[in-house]
Amino acid sequence: MSNKAAIINRVKQQIRTQYDMPVLPIKGIEYADKIAQFKETLRAVGGEAVELKQGEDLDTVISLHYPEAKTIASNLEDTTLATISPDNVNSAHDLKNIDLAIVRGEIGVAENACVWVPQLMKERVICFISEYLVILLDKNSVVNNMHEAYEQINFHDSCFGVFISGPSKTADIEQALVVGAHGPKGVLVILL
């Protein structure tokens, strides 16, 4: 057997060896007040978070923030503002010119103010094509950091999901900040 063949055989034998993944305890950042941190961080990235107060009407809060919105897309029963459902369209192209989309978030992350939005609608493009986006989030589902968030997400049951943090923005062209370049111009998270 040549030296080359011997080396290749040894490499092949090593490949067949299975090694257990190491267990590494990871302690992420923690906050004394996760909700306050979430709000502050979301404001820093250009979004806004408000807590729905006891007895306050959700539709009224949304309407006060977006009084100009005429075409509103949502499939949620929490609101009666929707003029179109992302579940009742023939294609994603039917959702063009949406002023406001209202979706449900599953997990909020205090460290970077992102919200895990699973696909609970037929056309997921609604999260990116609307001019403005409202995310409804249970305030008890806000976690400290991404490590905690990933522990809670069941990726096997999800066909699609995305973390959204604030409005879309880019500064690629001449280092000028453009908000809404490839997604919503504004994001409002309503903590329920």
pLDDT digits (tens, 9 = 90+) for 99-117: 999 999 999 999 999 999 9
The pLDDT confidence band at residue 174, using thresholds 50, 70 and 90, is confident
pTM confidence score:
0.80
Between CA 67 and CA 81 the distance in angstroms is: 11
| 144/101 Cα distance (integer angstroms) | 26
Of 14-28, 30-44, 51-65, 146-160, the least confident = 14-28
In the three-class reduction of DSSP (H, G, I as helix; E, B as strand; rest coil), residue 133 is classed as strand
Place 95 in a pLDDT band, splitting at 50, 70 and 90: confident
Q: Which pLDDT score, from 0 to 100, does residue 63 have?
A: 92
Which residues, 6 or more positions from 172, have their beta carbon under 8 angstroms from its beta carbon? none
The H or E element spanning position 35 is helix 34-44
The token pair that represents 140 in the structure block: 């008890």
- pLDDT for res 192: 93
Residue that the structure tokens 């062209």 belong to: 173
Confidence of residue 122 (pLDDT cuts 50, 70, 90): confident
- The CATH number of domain 25-191 is 3.90.1170.50: no
Report the alpha-carbon distance of residue 141 to residue 158 in Å, rounded.
Answer: 18
- Asked whether 109 and 31 are in contact (CB, 8 A), the reply is no
pLDDT for residue 191:
96
What's the length of the chain? 192
Confidence of residue 28 (pLDDT cuts 50, 70, 90): confident
